[in-house]
Amino acid sequence: MTVSRRNLLKAAALSLGSIGLGAPAIAWSQNRKFDIKAAVNVPMTHSIYIRMQEAAEAIKQDTGGEVNVRVFPNGQLGSDTDMLSQIRSGGLEMLCLPGVILANLVPLASLNSVGFAFLNYPEVWKGMDGNLGGFIRGQIEKSNLVVYEKVWDNGFRHITSHAPVNTPADLGGLKIRVPVSPLLLSLFKSLNASPTPINFSELYSALQTKVVDAQENPFPIIETGKLYEVQPYCAMTSHVWDGYWMLANKRFFGRMPKDAQQIVMSRFNEAGLRQRVDSEKAAVDLKAALEKQGMKFTQPDPAAFREALGKGGFYAEWKQKFGNEAWAQLEASVGKLS
């Protein structure tokens, strides 16, 4: 290693110290370089991709180009399930993946997505940065993956419809499109709706022709899909919150020097915190934008929906599926679910 290389890494370490990380210069025993492919399913305009790219650039600078992270957005490296398989096999080094998808491998990864568990963002971050998030990370790590500490934000899901939704009774018999998710299917069945899985590419026409009466998604999907053109009402139910987990292949990650691991994890954790702020602000801005497009909003009482789900057996069903230990962790964070 040349003197100039050492000086460069020393400067990078000082840069890290100035933001509170205090990481030392990396001691590369054989001038090794590490190329990391990091994949995500969101488009390049999404805050998750933007913040991942920023983290990649910071890591390259901090390590003098010795760790190079390339971010592949928009599912360029395959479907979510394909990419999950790739990161487990080592064909992919890093992956940012929604919990509801990761639940195909680790069912408890969707513990935070139980219907009406979280009522607002302060509850989400208190739980996911606390014992509940630690418990879920521990379950994911059992699948031989490295899980970064900070979960990223995928937002709360809301219901759009042809007629206003204010109470659980308004969902009775309602044909509502949902993705193929056992939790969401169970949620709306317990509310006496008729959940119908439809590919998102077919959703607009299905709503336009009233094949289904309603759908549910976070605000960014409602806006980019122009669903306001065929759905005049939006009920801000916030019925499910889900996050994106930053994952790494354990074998690859273990081959990096400890200092490099610290820099990579610290930079992505920092980026995740900034993305949360982006996402919360975007939700406010998108609501205003949707109102300008003519969409009318209602604010249903979540307590009524929790009560209906309890009577419908939803919570009892998922307590049994997740297990008593996991359910106790959830209720310790969000309160009694019944």
Residue 112 backbone class (left: φ over 0; alpha: ψ -120 to 50; beta: rest): alpha
pLDDT at residue number 27? 52
pLDDT at residue number 63? 95
pLDDT at residue number 23? 44
Measured distance CA(67)–CA(321) in Å, rounded: 41
- Band of pLDDT at residue 31, cut at 50, 70 and 90: low
The whole-number average pLDDT for the span 186-192 is 96
Query: What percent of the chain lies above the pLDDT cut of 70?
Result: 91
pLDDT at residue number 15? 41
Q: Are strands 241-249 and 194-197 parallel, antiparallel or unpaired?
A: unpaired
pLDDT at residue number 12? 41
- Band of pLDDT at residue 7, cut at 50, 70 and 90: very low
> Nearest CA to 113 among 231, 241, 4?
241
Q: pLDDT tens-digit profile of 124-133? A: 999 999 999 9
Measured distance CA(107)–CA(320) in Å, rounded: 13
Measured distance CA(317)–CA(306) in Å, rounded: 14
pLDDT at 187 over 90: yes
Per DSSP, helices labelled H in the chain are 3-18, 47-62, 80-89, 99-102, 121-128, 131-141, 182-190, 203-208, 219-224, 250-255, 258-292, 302-311, 314-322, 324-334
Q: pLDDT tens-digit profile of 252-300? A: 999 999 999 999 999 999 999 999 999 999 999 999 999 999 999 999 9
pLDDT at residue number 87? 97
pLDDT at 79 over 80: yes
pLDDT at 218 over 80: yes
Lowest model confidence (mean pLDDT) among 11-25, 220-234, 306-320: 11-25
pLDDT at residue number 13? 42
pLDDT at 220 over 90: no
Measured distance CA(70)–CA(48) in Å, rounded: 14
pLDDT at 11 over 80: no
The whole-number average pLDDT for the span 105-110 is 94
Q: Is 81 helix (H, G, I), strand (E, B) or coil?
A: helix
> Nearest CA to 80 among 131, 39, 133?
39
Measured distance CA(159)–CA(235) in Å, rounded: 5
| Cα-Cα-Cα-Cα dihedral sign, residues 313, 216, 79, 330 | negative
Per DSSP, helices labelled H in 22-173 are 47-62, 80-89, 99-102, 121-128, 131-141
The whole-number average pLDDT for the span 18-34 is 53
Q: pLDDT tens-digit profile of 92-102? A: 999 999 998 89
Cβ 78 vs Cβ 40: under 8 Å: no
| Close Cβ partners of 187 (under 8 Å, ≥ 6 residues apart) | 115, 195, 239, 240, 309, 314
Measured distance CA(332)–CA(329) in Å, rounded: 5
Q: pLDDT tens-digit profile of 290-334? A: 999 999 999 999 999 999 999 999 999 999 999 999 999 999 999
Backbone angles phi, psi at 33, to 5 degrees: -115, 150
pLDDT at 234 over 70: yes
Average pLDDT across the chain, whole number: 90
pLDDT at residue number 198? 87
> Nearest CA to 165 among 301, 28, 9?
301
- Band of pLDDT at residue 22, cut at 50, 70 and 90: very low
Percentages helix, strand, coil for the chain (3-state, rounded to 5) are 50, 15, 30
Q: pLDDT tens-digit profile of 135-186? A: 999 999 999 999 999 999 999 999 999 999 999 999 999 999 998 788 999 9
Measured distance CA(170)–CA(189) in Å, rounded: 13
pLDDT at residue number 236? 97
pLDDT at residue number 100? 85
pLDDT at residue number 270? 98
Q: Could you tell me the domains of the chain?
A: 3-105+143-153+243-283 (3.40.190.170), 156-240+286-334 (3.40.190.170)
Measured distance CA(90)–CA(201) in Å, rounded: 31
